[in-house]
Amino acid sequence: MSAETESKSTSTKKNKEPFFKRFVKNPLVISILACIVIVFIGFAWISSWLNSYTNHGIEIETPDLNGMTEKEGGEILALRGLTYEVIDSMYVNGMKPGAIVDQVPKAGAKVKEGRKIYVKIQAYSAKKVSLPEVREGSARQAENLLASVGLKVNNLEYVPSEQSGNVIEVKYHDQIILPNTKLIEGSAVTLVIGRGLSNEEVQVTSFRGLTLDRARNEAHEKDLNIGSINYDNGISDQDKDKAIVYKQTPVTGKTVPAGTRVDLYLTIDKTKMEEPEEIFKNDAVQDSVPDSDDGLWN
C-alpha cells in the first residue's frame, strides 16, 4: 500500500471517531477545561477559608462586665474568644477604682469571635469640682447651676429669713460650705432656703406615676423634700430608673411645713396604678347633706 493510500486510510479512521472524543482531545479544549477546574477548586478553597476565618454563622453573646476589674473582665472575654480595649475612665459614685463601668457593645449583644469589646473603667482618683456661687438666687437656679458642674441637690432646708425663697447657704454633710470648695463630682448638697419670717406651710403635691428623678424635681419646686425611697421587692438596680411612684406619705393634699420630707413607694408593676390614690381629707370641713340646718334643704 502506497503512502498516499495509507494517509487517506488514517484520515478516514479519524473522521469516523465520535465527535465528542475528537472534541475532548483538542488541545484548546483541554486547556479551557483545565482552567475551569482550577478556578472551581480555587473558589471552593477561598470560600472554605473565609467561612473558617469569619466563623460563618457562629455568634457569641457579650457578657456583662459591669463591676468587674479590668483583669477579671479580660479573662471572661478571653474564655469566649473576645478581646477588649480600655477607651476611657470616668468616676461613678460607689464603684471601686479600676472597675468596668460601661462597655460597647452592651451585655447580651451578639458578636463574632475575635471581636474587640471597648470598655470604660472607674477612675482611680475621683474628679473634683468647685462649688459655684448659688447664694441669693432661687432654688431652681441653684439646682441648674450645680448640675452644670456635676453636683446634685439632695435636700432643701427651710429657715426663717427675710430672703424668702432664696438660697442662703449650702451644706455638705450638715456642714456649711463656701463657694469654690472642692467636692467630688456627683456629690449631693443641701440648699438652705429662706422662708420669710412666718411659718410657711405648703400643700403636698401628688407624685403618683413619676420616676424618682422627676418626683425629686417636682418636690423641690413645691418646697418639699424626698424622704425615704422604698422600692418593691425584686426590683433590680437596672430597673430602678423605670420604677414609678404609686404611694406616698404624707398623702396628696395634706398641708405641711415647707421642707417636709415625703416618703415614696415605687414599683414597676403597672397594676398597682389601678388602685385609687389616697387623698387627704380635712375632717373639719364637711359637705352639706340633706336635712342639715344650713337652710339649703328646707
For the chain, the average pLDDT equals 81
**pLDDT at position 293, please?**
44
With b meaning 16 or more CB within 10 Å and e meaning fewer, what string describes 64-95? ebbebbbeebbebbeeeebebeeeeeebeeeb
3-state DSSP assignment of residue 93: coil
Stretch among 40-44, 94-98, 147-151 having the lowest mean pLDDT: 40-44
Convert the pLDDT of each residue in 204-215 to its tens digit.
999 999 999 899
Convert the pLDDT of each residue in 216-263 to its tens digit.
888 888 888 888 999 999 888 888 889 999 999 999 999 988 888 899
- Output 73 or 17, whichever has higher pLDDT: 73
The CATH number of domain 201-298 is 2.160.10.10: no
Domain at 127-199, CATH class: alpha beta
d(Cα 140, Cα 167) in Å, to the nearest integer?
A: 10
What does the pLDDT average to over 148-162?
A: 86
DSSP letter string over 13-76? HHHHS-HHHHHHT-HHHHHHHHHHHHHHHHHHHHHHHHHHHHTTT--EEPP--TT-BHHHHHHH
What does the pLDDT average to over 154-173?
A: 85
d(Cα 231, Cα 24) in Å, to the nearest integer?
A: 84
Distance, CA of 125 to chain centre: 24
First-to-last alpha carbon distance for the chain, in angstroms, is 153
**φ, ψ for residue 8 (rounded to 5)?**
-65, -35
**pLDDT at position 142, please?**
93
Per-residue pLDDT band at 2 (split at 50, 70, 90): low
Per-residue pLDDT band at 54 (split at 50, 70, 90): low
Per-residue pLDDT band at 16 (split at 50, 70, 90): low
pLDDT at 135 over 70: yes
- Output 35 or 104, whichever has higher pLDDT: 104
Domain at 60-122, CATH class: alpha beta
> Measured at the alpha carbon of residue 239, what is the angle toward residues 236 and 241, in degrees to the nearest 5?
130
Domain ranges of the chain: 1-39, 60-122, 127-199, 201-298
d(Cα 286, Cα 158) in Å, to the nearest integer?
A: 33
- Output 185 or 290, whichever has higher pLDDT: 185
